[in-house]
């Protein structure tokens, strides 16, 4: 029986935006296959990734944004491109890059509002194509994110990314009920990162579409354009719509799951007092812990005992004339102290808490971090040698940037805290303090050079304590970073650099699978730039990580 004939107009195939790169990769793949080399799989994966990318590339370096394109493959493309230019192919390249950029991008731009061939609804999940069966629901946060990033991708002049604040503002106009406040987690964005549809880079974070996300967003844009045309919205109506929505969207932007974001807090001179907050863990037990509070009382230090999720001592500016005396407004000053006795320091180094606590202190939102080492008892009765403790404390000051203070006993520690409290009272006297959202820098020059003026843009105590919760819900990226830090030699900065390039274990394993030889696997991470000096991760640590993630047998 003959197959049924499908009637209807055939959809024209899109123009290949990178024909030269596709041709060269195909030649390299066929050559590797004829010689029986495993590199044919590398070229095949890169070829599939390039064919899914809808925009032209000007050189091999630009192809690095695509999946399965490493430094070596990009160099091969650049070398072949130079040979092609020398042999007289320069005019063809200009024609491809210029004409395709104008025509192809213009065609993609107009598809958002292009009339469909026949009236119909958005495609069902089974029509999602190479993006899998995932299809975001109408008016959902994930749908709004993909469409806004796609619009920026089409309209971009040299960049196709958005910061989280820009993404929040744009998505609030499209799906206001699905957008949280700026200081709250965003499950929709986390879901897209987990599905590798959105890529996060840089610090502060920049969000852009991956090739798979671009393909799905293009299909969403087609269905979204259909819905807009059904209600009579044309290209001329879009700017006016953008001018009328932000008023309502700004109100929705502060709302998150039924709650409304609190207004900005401001405390003028004479409207607040400096108060020392002591972690409740410093008061439990007997002996030196209760003795610290007695010393603070003897020195007339205004203090209060609370549960702190990070650090042992912080200072707050507490409102003195509050409308609700039971719950006065409080802003956290830019100083935090972590107190360690020598035996506590030994145990934290042994069980790994030492590095984790420093990592969390650097991410708590406060810039002036003090590490208070209390030399209580004899060094000879400890489980680690004195040289190890001295090296750990020195690294904390030199590498991590903490201010390290040594004290002899509990009385001297209390005296130092009292001195800091008096100094902060004088430092902030006569200054107006304002609140700022969690995750935003308090001062643009913070950490670059010392300043005689105090930081007056501060976090509220509730935001500070909630943002520092240790066991809060974490993304795959955060758990992956913590996993990497368990490997010897991987610091917080190195783990952050690794997850910036490979945000999930799956992406790292895929990169290892794309390597042709075990030697390439061992050197895959050696050129990752880490820290403020942007030094390479190094071959030794790269080899250790490759053994961890590529060895099927038990590690010895």
Asked if 360 and 468 count as a contact pair (C-beta separation under 8 A), the reply is yes
Q: Which of 222, 271, 282, 425 is catalytic?
A: 282
Q: What pairing do the DSSP bridges indicate for beta strands 403-407 and 368-374? A: parallel
168 vs 20, 62, 116, CA distance in Å? 39, 28, 30
Q: Which of 224, 312, 374, 400 is catalytic?
A: 312
Closest to 340 (Cα-Cα) out of 311, 372, 313, 296: 372
In angstroms, the CA 159 to CA 151 distance is 12
Closest to 365 (Cα-Cα) out of 455, 421, 307, 442: 442
252 is catalytic: no
Closest to 143 (Cα-Cα) out of 120, 163, 123, 114: 123
Asked if 332 and 366 count as a contact pair (C-beta separation under 8 A), the reply is yes
In angstroms, the CA 50 to CA 21 distance is 8
Write the DSSP string, 358-397.
HHHHHTSS-SEEEEEEE--S-GGGSSS-HHHHHHHHHHHH
351 is catalytic: no
Asked if 525 and 79 count as a contact pair (C-beta separation under 8 A), the reply is no
- Can you say how many angstroms the Cα of residue 159 is from the centroid of all Cα atoms in its chain? 18
CA angle 228, 234, 240 (to 5 degrees): 100
In 180-312, where do the E strands start and end? 198-201, 206-209, 255-256, 259-260, 266-267, 272-279, 303-306
Q: Which of 148, 215, 224, 279 is catalytic?
A: 279
Closest to 218 (Cα-Cα) out of 298, 130, 117, 296: 130
Q: What 8-state DSSP symbol labels residue 236?
A: T
Asked if 314 and 366 count as a contact pair (C-beta separation under 8 A), the reply is yes
In angstroms, the CA 303 to CA 414 distance is 12
324 is catalytic: no
Asked if 359 and 492 count as a contact pair (C-beta separation under 8 A), the reply is yes
- Tokens representing 440 are 């935003």
Closest to 174 (Cα-Cα) out of 204, 148, 211: 148
* Active-site annotation, residues: 279, 282, 312
């Amino acid at each position: 029986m003959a197959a049924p004939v499908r009637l209807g107009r055939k959809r024209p195939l899109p123009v290949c935006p990178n024909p030269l790169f596709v041709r060269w990769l195909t030649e390299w793949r066929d050559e590797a296959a004829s010689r029986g080399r495993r590199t044919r799989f590398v070229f095949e994966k890169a070829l599939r990734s390039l064919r899914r990318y809808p925009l032209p590339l000007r050189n091999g370096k630009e192809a690095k944004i695509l999946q399965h394109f490493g430094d070596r493959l990009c160099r091969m493309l650049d070398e072949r491109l130079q040979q092609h230019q020398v042999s007289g192919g320069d005019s063809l390249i200009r024609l491809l890059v210029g004409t395709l950029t104008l025509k192809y991008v213009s065609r993609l731009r107009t598809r958002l509002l292009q009339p469909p061939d026949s009236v119909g609804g958005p495609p069902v999940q089974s029509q999602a194509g190479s993006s899998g069966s995932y299809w975001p629901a109408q008016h959902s946060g994930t749908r709004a994110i993909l469409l806004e990033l796609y619009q920026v991708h089409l309209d971009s002049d040299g960049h196709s990314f958005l910061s989280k604040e820009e993404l929040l503002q744009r998505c609030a106009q499209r799906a206001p009920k699905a957008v949280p406040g700026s200081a709250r987690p965003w499950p929709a964005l986390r879901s897209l990162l987990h599905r590798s549809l959105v890529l996060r880079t840089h610090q502060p974070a920049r969000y852009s579409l991956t090739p798979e996300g671009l393909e799905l967003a293009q299909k969403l844009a087609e269905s979204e354009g259909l819905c807009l045309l059904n209600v009579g919205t044309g290209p001329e109506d879009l700017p006016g719509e953008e001018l009328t929505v932000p008023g309502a969207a700004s109100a929705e932007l502060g709302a998150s799951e039924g709650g409304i974001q609190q207004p900005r807090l401001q405390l003028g001179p004479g409207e607040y007092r400096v108060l020392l907050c002591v972690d409740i863990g410093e008061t439990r037990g007997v002996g030196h812990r209760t003795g610290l509070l007695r010393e603070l009382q003897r020195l007339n230090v205004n203090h209060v005992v609370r549960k702190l999720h990070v650090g042992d001592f912080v200072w707050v500016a507490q409102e003195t004339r509050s409308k609700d005396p039971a719950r006065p407004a409080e802003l956290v000053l830019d100083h935090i102290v972590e107190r360690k006795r020598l035996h506590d320091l030994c145990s934290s180094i042994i069980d790994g808490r030492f590095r984790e606590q420093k990592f969390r202190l650097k991410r708590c939102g406060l810039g002036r971090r003090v590490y208070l080492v209390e030399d209580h008892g004899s060094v000879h009765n400890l489980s680690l040698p004195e040289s190890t403790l001295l090296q750990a404390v020195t690294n904390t000051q030199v590498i991590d940037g903490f201010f390290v203070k040594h004290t002899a006993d509990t009385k001297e520690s209390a005296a130092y805290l009292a001195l800091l409290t008096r100094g902060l009272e004088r430092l902030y006297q006569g200054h107006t303090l304002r609140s700022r959202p969690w995750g935003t820098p308090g001062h643009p020059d913070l950490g670059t050079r010392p300043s005689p003026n105090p930081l007056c843009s501060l976090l509220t105590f509730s935001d500070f304590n909630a943002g520092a919760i240790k066991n809060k819900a974490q993304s795959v990226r955060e758990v992956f970073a913590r996993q990497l830090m368990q490997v010897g030699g991987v610091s917080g900065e190195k783990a952050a650099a690794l997850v910036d390039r490979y945000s999930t274990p799956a992406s790292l394993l895929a990169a290892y699978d794309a390597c042709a030889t075990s030697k390439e696997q061992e050197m895959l991470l050696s050129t990752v730039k880490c820290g403020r000096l942007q030094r390479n991760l190094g071959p030794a640590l790269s080899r250790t990580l490759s053994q961890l993630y590529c060895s099927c047998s038990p590690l010895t």
